[in-house]
Structure 1
Amino acid sequence: LTPPVTLHSAQSAPEARDQLARLPQLDMVLLDLELHHEHDGFALLQDIRQSHPVLPIVVLSASNEMAKVIRSIDLGAMGFIPKHSAPEEFKEALLLVITGGIYVPSMRVSDEPMMPPRRRAEDFMPEAARPTALASGWAAPPRSQVDQLPITPRQKDVLRALLQGKSNKVIASDLGIGPDTVKDHVATIFRVLGVSSRTQAVLAVAQWHE
């Protein structure tokens, strides 16, 4: 059975900020990029992420343009749902995010690779288990292969925190390690996943739900 859900709506950016200030127990924010704001939806997304660093934010948009998806994730969204998605897709996406996952719609980018063609995360995976690449030269391991990633348990802790949108400074504080150590762990994680940025790492891992 699905537990009851209480929704609080806001018609403007100031109203949204007021709701967030008055309702600290909120479990998630659904942000419509096309909703009228005194500034654009991305700016509001950035504001909410800065003021509520661990609150899951899911972006809703009339399109699933790659540029919008990437920018949303880069600004700290944990999900991006096109408005034309089927009800079951909405449910799947929201359940994934509320349980700590990351959701992005199925998509392909242009023929230009986001990374040089290297697939280090696949070196330890059987051929049959390798997923279709999100972009040319970039493939992420499926969820069933997470435990087989050739990284240490501490690096897996860092990866989980990174996927929650936490900064290196916050990760260091939470895990009780130095910022330079976090930086080294992040570099290793990027190398294993075959990506070069947090956004690419999030998008790569987000494909594991498919």
Structure 2
Amino acid sequence: MRILLVDAFPMVRAALTGLIEQHFADTQVQGVDTVEAARAALAQGLPRLVLLDLRVEGGFELLQQIHREHLMLPVVVVSGSDETEDALRALGAGAMGYVPERSDLHTLVQALHLVLAGGTYVPPLKPRADDTPAPPVAATPVPDWAELPLTPRQKHVLHLLTQGLSNKLIARELGVSVETVKDHVAAVLKALGVSSRTQAVVAATQKNRS
């Protein structure tokens, strides 16, 4: 498996390369420091995943290009910002994961595992200024989402999407076929007015706090 790492700082690339190769067997990390070098690497062959630091000049445009030209290629964004708007912007542009730089290494490894398995990693986000902070809870029950025209099963699917599960894992959790899960996911996307699983996770996360 090959992972393309796009980061402008040599020491960071070296540290992340070591971390990834330690936790992912038979993985080759190709590190580049510019968007131009990343595009050249993509032209030579698509990796299994792209790990992109948005501080690289032109990084956001590269994210948009990958989403536009290689829709099935997952991108995990590493960012110096933990602001909700920045995370939503990256996820809306096609990132399958957003890891604030303040996160620990274990979180990054978990995010990569999740995205490689077909899931989406959304970090805990700061409430927006116009959001009412949600009270702390001890468990994560399936939210009601009463305003959405969804069946109880579809709400359960949406809940599992927000947990980062892939269609295969959702099917296993619910004891149904993957095709049935796909139908439920399509209904969820329509109800939320979005076009991707990532956007659905973001929209559902915001509705939980409203």
Q: TM-score, normalised by structure 2?
A: 0.61
Q: CA deviation at 1:146?
A: 4.9
1:22 and 2:44 are equivalent in the alignment: yes
Per-residue deviation, residues 38-85 of structure 1 (Å, max 9, x unmatched) = x3x221111122221211111110012111111111111111111121
Who is 1:156 aligned against? 181
1:33 and 2:30 are equivalent in the alignment: no
Q: TM-score, normalised by structure 1?
A: 0.61
Q: CA deviation at 1:159?
A: 6.3
1:124 and 2:152 are equivalent in the alignment: yes
Who is 1:7 aligned against? 29
Q: CA deviation at 1:156?
A: 2.7
Aligned-partner Cα distance in 1 for 2:78–2:92: 15
Aligned-partner Cα distance in 2 for 1:79–1:66: 13
Who is 1:166 aligned against? none
Who is 1:197 aligned against? 194
Letter in 1 for 2:194: S
Per-residue deviation, residues 2-54 of structure 1 (Å, max 9, x unmatched) = 41321111111111000111133x1100111011x2x3x22111112222121
Per-residue deviation, residues 133-192 of structure 1 (Å, max 9, x unmatched) = xxxxxxx5245995699xx965632566xxxxxxxxxxxxxxxxxxxxxxxxx4x32465
**Residues 85-94 or 47-56, more deviating:** 47-56
2:97 to 79, 92, 111: 79
- 5+ residue gaps, structure 1, are 131-139, 161-185
Change (3 A) 1:154 1:206: farther
Asked if the contact 2:91–2:199 (Cα under 8 Å) also holds between the matched residues in 1, the reply is no
Please give the secondary structure, in 1, of the residue aligned with 2:30. Answer: coil
1:107 and 2:132 are equivalent in the alignment: no
Aligned-partner Cα distance in 2 for 1:65–1:51: 27
**How many correspondences in the alignment?**
160
Aligned-partner Cα distance in 1 for 2:45–2:94: 20
Q: What is the aligned-residue RMSD (CA, Å)? A: 3.8
Who is 1:59 aligned against? 77
Who is 1:68 aligned against? 86
Higher strand share: 2
Asked if the contact 1:121–1:141 (Cα under 8 Å) also holds between the matched residues in 2, the reply is no
Who is 1:42 aligned against? 60
Asked if the contact 1:122–1:141 (Cα under 8 Å) also holds between the matched residues in 2, the reply is no
Who is 1:96 aligned against? 114
More contact order relative to length (CA 8 Å, sep ≥ 6)? 1
Aligned-partner Cα distance in 2 for 1:27–1:123: 35
Letter in 2 for 1:157: K
Aligned-partner Cα distance in 2 for 1:120–1:146: 20
